[in-house]
Each structure stands twice: as structure tokens, then as C-alpha cells.
Structure 1
Amino acid sequence: MALKITEECINCDVCEPECPNQAISQGEFYYEINPNRCTECVGHFNEPQCQQVCPVECIPVDIIETKEQLLEKYHQLQKTKS
């Protein structure tokens, strides 16, 4: 379930440092999430950290993936870190 930051984003800068997969970056108008790097924090935390800290709740699910798919993505990202 890759997440997406909507245009309601107020660019408060709290989500980016919370992402363990470095999936969040500043876009042209507001922060964006790279769906290829977003695991909804599976492999790191029980809940998406960006959603936990977002003061305006502008980070809904965008792409539905199973927990197994997210875990596989997590493992692939860990391999590229090595």
C-alpha cells in the first residue's frame, strides 16, 4: 500500500526525516512519496511513520499492496543498501 501525499500538504517538513526508506522528498509544490520505495514502514515499524506525524492527515493509501508485497519491497531495498 504505497502512500501518497496530497495537495493538502502544508510543507511542514516533519514527514521526510521520519521515512526509513527515504521515499519522501520535496516536490515542486509539496512533498511527494516514491511508490517504489514506500513500504508503509513494513520491516521497520508497525505503522507508517509519516502518517503518524502528519499534522493535516494528508497521506492516504494510493496503491494497495499486500503485507507480503511490502515486505518483499523492503527486502529488495535492504539489498540495494549493502
Structure 2
Amino acid sequence: MKKAPPRDLFRSYLTSPLQKPDVAIEPVAATSIFEKKIGYSVNEAAYALGLSEKTIRRAIRGGELVSSRIGSKIVIQLKNIEAWLTNKESHT
């Protein structure tokens, strides 16, 4: 029987030892990831914002970041991410 690949290949990539890339990587503005979608998973939001999934989940549990549950998935609307970030900026 064929062995299934890891469930989250991206996460396994992040936990592997860091290697210097062969080519220069250009930084990408966080807003570019949000240009086409209006709803994001916890993983996608964390990646786009450069935060951990734990931070995003903590904000959701604490009522700071509004989300919806669709089946077993947590979905965060773009407008709620923007509102959360604006609120964070005004408190710092």
C-alpha cells in the first residue's frame, strides 16, 4: 500500500532545517496574498500575516478576531482580519 504524504507539507517544510536559498527571494507585501480571496483558514491568515496559528486561534477564542465555522473549518473574512489589524494598531 502506498504511503500517504504528510497532511501539511508546508508545515513539514517549515520545521525542516533552514537552508540558504540558491536565489534571492523578494519580500512580498502581506496585502498581495489577500487580493483575490475574501475568506481565509487559520493557517492561511497566520502565514499571510507572519504570525503563528496559535496567535490567530488565541485572538479568535478571545473574541478579538471574528471568524465563522463552516463544517469543521474556521473561516476568517478579509474584513475581519483588516478590522483586527486596525484595532491592534490603535492599541500600540
Question: Which has the greater radius of gyration?
Answer: 2
Higher helix share: 2
Using CA pairs below 8 Å that are at least 6 residues apart, which structure has the higher relative contact order?
A: 1
Give the alignment's TM-score, normalised by structure 2.
Answer: 0.28
Give the alignment's TM-score, normalised by structure 1.
Answer: 0.30
